[in-house]
Amino acid sequence: MVDRLSELFGALADPTRRAILARLAEGEATVNQLAEPFPISLQAISKHLKVLERAGLITRGKEAQWRPCRLDAGPLREVADWIADYQRFWEQRYDRLGDYLHQLQRDETKPEE
């Protein structure tokens, strides 16, 4: 996993990590809070967080013995940019792209896994 985009796609290629991002979209959370919904060990979550951190998708603070995580969606823009190059291949008319995304935006769906 040498390049930026591969690191990003790789970080997103795991349902647990995407679920963590979805949780963080609702606000900051500690490692224990993030781990709570999952049937795996805290240490495994810790590893997932390290992957997300390396990809720049989260940032971690330090508050007493807690390590609060925050979502950083910035890098997702790089992914969106890459995908945008292919939109004309799934949209019948190139200029319908805007409409499509405007509609998505109107739906105002909350991020979730």
- Which of 5, 25, 42, 101 contacts DNA by CB under 7 A? 42
Please, which contacts does 68-73 make with residues 24 or more away whose CB atoms are closer than 8 Å?
68/28, 68/29, 68/30, 69/20, 69/24, 69/28, 69/29, 69/30, 69/31, 69/34, 70/24, 70/28, 71/21, 71/24, 71/25
3: contact with DNA by CB under 7 A = no
Residue 44 vs 101, nearer CB to DNA: 44
- Helical packing angle, 15-24 and 42-54, nearest 10°: 80
59: contact with DNA by CB under 7 A = no
Per CB under 7 A, the segment of 19-27, 63-71, 92-100, 102-110 that binds DNA is: 63-71
User: Minimal distance in Å, beta carbon 27 to DNA?
Assistant: 14
- Which of 5, 25, 40, 84 contacts DNA by CB under 7 A? 40
Positive or negative, the CA dihedral 86, 24, 32, 35 is: negative
Between residue 8 and residue 37, which ones bind DNA under the rule CB under 7 A?
A: 10, 13-14, 16, 30-33
Residue 14 vs 36, nearer CB to a copy of itself: 14
